[in-house]
Amino acid sequence: MVNAFWYFVMVPMVYISVIWCLVGIVVRIAQVVREPRPPHTLRIFRDDETPEDPLGAGLGAAFLDALTMPSIRRYQPVFWVFLMIFHVSLLVLVVAHLDILPQINILSAESQHMLGNGSVGVFFTVSLAYFLLRRFKGPVREVSVASDYLLLVLLLSIAITGDVISWGNSWTEQGFVITKQEFGQYMTGLLTLSFADPLKLLPGTHYVVIGTHVLLVNLLLIFLPFSNLMHTCFSVPLNALRRG
């Protein structure tokens, strides 16, 4: 029964969550696109004296705004540092997870570690902890709603279980309990729709931690289209509106 539960989480539920998430994102984007265009410009006019990048209007500038968040850098520099740590480590973590696949070899195929040797996850976790703490004090607390906390707790749980997999997995007398190559087989199985039982590929007590990590990621994927993580898709068009 327990094994069946973890099998469901680690195989069918992954497919369900990914499809749900993709469809949800498409629906959310469609909801925006089918609305009429705004009737006039919503531009904020920059001036020559206040710092700005030289790109002016257009999508390139909006993309840069979305990526580097210059207004937060100017008005909330500490928050900006953590935001940059968060976003950069998130990007590296996505690449690091892809690197687990045997077909992708950013690190050598024999490497036991993920990209960053587990350090990236720590940066990711610390930045999330900062975001969560920030929501408990000052005026930000007054404007936060349940979903803001829920999302951060979910992300933080994913980060912590990820850290446990990265670090705890290697802190045994025998070295790595589950190797990167074994993770690679599990992910290949998912990609090739083999429906193989991951328990056979990922042996040992760490299986439950990995299962929990995957379960939380599944939940995040299900929640994502309804959450303000959708700003990933909308930040560029929003900034383009301001750029005019």
Which pair of tokens denotes residue 208? 């439950």
- Which residues of the chain form contacts with another protein (CB under 8 A)? 28, 31-33, 35-50, 65-66, 69, 71-72, 75-76, 79, 138-140, 142-148, 150, 226, 228, 230-231, 234-235, 237-239, 241-243
Q: Which residue has the tokens 């090739």?
A: 192
**Closest CB to another protein among residues 4, 33:** 33
- Least distance to another protein, CB of residue 140, Å: 4
Query: Rounded to an integer, what is the distance from CA 103 to the centroid of its chain?
Result: 22
- Least distance to another protein, CB of residue 58, Å: 14
**Closest CB to another protein among residues 10, 151:** 151
Give the residue among 128, 155, 160 at the shortest CA–CA distance from 224. 155
Q: Which residue has the tokens 């959708």?
A: 230
Give the residue among 143, 131, 139 at the shortest CA–CA distance from 229. 131
Which pair of tokens denotes residue 209? 């931690």
Cβ neighbour number for residue 142 with a 10 Å cutoff: 6
- Least distance to another protein, CB of residue 169, Å: 33
**DSSP 8-state class, residue 81:** H
Report the SS3 class of residue 193.
coil
- Least distance to another protein, CB of residue 35, Å: 5
**Closest CB to another protein among residues 50, 108:** 50
- Least distance to another protein, CB of residue 3, Å: 31
**Closest CB to another protein among residues 152, 214:** 152
**Closest CB to another protein among residues 150, 191:** 150
| Torsion sign over Cα 69, 163, 93, 11 | negative
**Closest CB to another protein among residues 1, 146:** 146
- Least distance to another protein, CB of residue 242, Å: 3
23 burial level (CB within 10 Å; 0-12, 13-18, 19+): exposed
CA 93, CA 120: separation in Å to the nearest integer? Answer: 7
